[in-house]
Amino acid sequence: MRFLRWGPLVRQVLLGPGHPGHAQGGGAGAHEAYLRGVSMRAEEVAGKLREALGPKALRLETPTERRVFLTVAVEDLEDAVRAVLGLSREARFMTISAVDEGLDLELLYHVDVGGTVVTVRIKVPKEEMEVLDISHLAPAAEFIEREIRDLFGLEFVGLKPEKLYTPEGYEEKPLKKPMEGALPPQARPMAEALMGSACSVSVSRAVMRKRQDLGLPAMPPMAMAKPEALEEVRSLAEEVGFTERAGYDLEKKRLRYR
């Protein structure tokens, strides 16, 4: 750790009193010995979080031995942060990253747990743009939450109202992207038709009349007539992740964007 080679005053500020790397005489060796004492490997962290959160832990990933990603629902954020901070006396809130994915705002809460970085991941749908403020659990979060609110327009419920970066009266959200999903405009009606009727296009009354003029049945031999088939189309779309990637709301039966 580079900062351990810095002067005693800097170490004192960064590590705080009582830390074995604090003040004079610590050195890299002492810090590593300290880490060995308090650190938890990713698998161990993941195991403890799984135990603490149960089904609220929607996904737990450990891509390296010092990295854990925990995905939870927006409403379980507080429980997840509390569980992560409770893993160790040394757990330290680092920061929050915000990523505008078009339809959702992804928030990544990073916490250092004795050398292993745990990231709690949530996705806030842009239709809601509201999430709980966690500064009562990690006071340092207030600063970055205000920054995210100024730049992306996300409301943190319970956060003090003062702006951080942007001036009073300036209401634009410079880092917020338009609410757009993966499908280009011309493809959207086709996707909605497919999910709504199992066919990419619907039959107009004019075409029905023309079909009858030609001696064809008004309703063509398409898949759309069968409700059970439609159910299969929708569940298949959900299963392979199409509804999420394309931004299709299965309950409202339409895309989340126009």
Partner 1 sequence: MVETRERVSVAAKAGVFWGCYIPALQPFAEAAFRLILDDLGLSLSDVRGIACCPSPFMFKILDYEYWLETARANLDAIASDFRAIVTLCNGCWDSLLHARDLVENPPEVLHIAEFLIGLRNALLKRIQTPLQNLRVAVHVGCKPRSKPSLVDAIHELTALTGARIVNWRTAKICCGYPLFLAKPDEALETRVRVKVEDVQQVGADAIVVVCPACFMLLERGQLVLRRKGLRQTTPVLHLVELLALALGHKGQEIGLDAHAIKPKALLESIG
- Do 131 and 122 meet the contact criterion of CB atoms below 8 Å apart? yes
> 25 is written with which tokens?
């005489």
Query: Can you list the alpha helix ranges (DSSP code H) found in 104-164?
Result: 141-152
> 66 — phi, psi (to 5°)?
-120, 20
Closest Cα partner for 102 from 12, 181, 187, 192? 181
- How near is the Cβ of 244 to partner 1 at its closest, in Å? 11
Name which of 89 and 205 has its Cβ closer to partner 1.
205
Could you give the CA distance from residue 107 to residue 167 in angstroms, rounded to a whole number? Answer: 24
Cβ neighbour number for residue 56 with a 10 Å cutoff: 17
Could you give the CA distance from residue 156 to residue 77 in angstroms, rounded to a whole number? Answer: 12
- How near is the Cβ of 127 to partner 1 at its closest, in Å? 22
User: What residue type is 110 in one-letter code?
Assistant: H
- How near is the Cβ of 235 to partner 1 at its closest, in Å? 10
Q: What are the residues binding partner 1 (CB under 8 A)?
A: 182-184, 186-187, 190-191, 194, 198-204, 207, 210-211, 213-216, 220-223, 225-226, 229, 232-233, 236-237, 239-242, 245-246
- How near is the Cβ of 236 to partner 1 at its closest, in Å? 6
- How near is the Cβ of 225 to partner 1 at its closest, in Å? 8
Name which of 152 and 248 has its Cβ closer to partner 1.
248
How far is residue 215 from each of residues 191, 201, 203, 223, measured CA to CA in Å? 30, 21, 16, 20
Closest Cα partner for 160 from 174, 143, 176? 143
Name which of 153 and 189 has its Cβ closer to partner 1.
189
Name which of 54 and 241 has its Cβ closer to partner 1.
241
Name which of 125 and 196 has its Cβ closer to partner 1.
196
Name which of 120 and 183 has its Cβ closer to partner 1.
183
For residue 25, count CB atoms less than 10 angstroms from its CB and return exposed for 0-12, middle for 13-18, buried for 19 or more. exposed
Name which of 13 and 225 has its Cβ closer to partner 1.
225
User: Bridge partners of 225?
Assistant: none
- How near is the Cβ of 223 to partner 1 at its closest, in Å? 5
- How near is the Cβ of 191 to partner 1 at its closest, in Å? 8
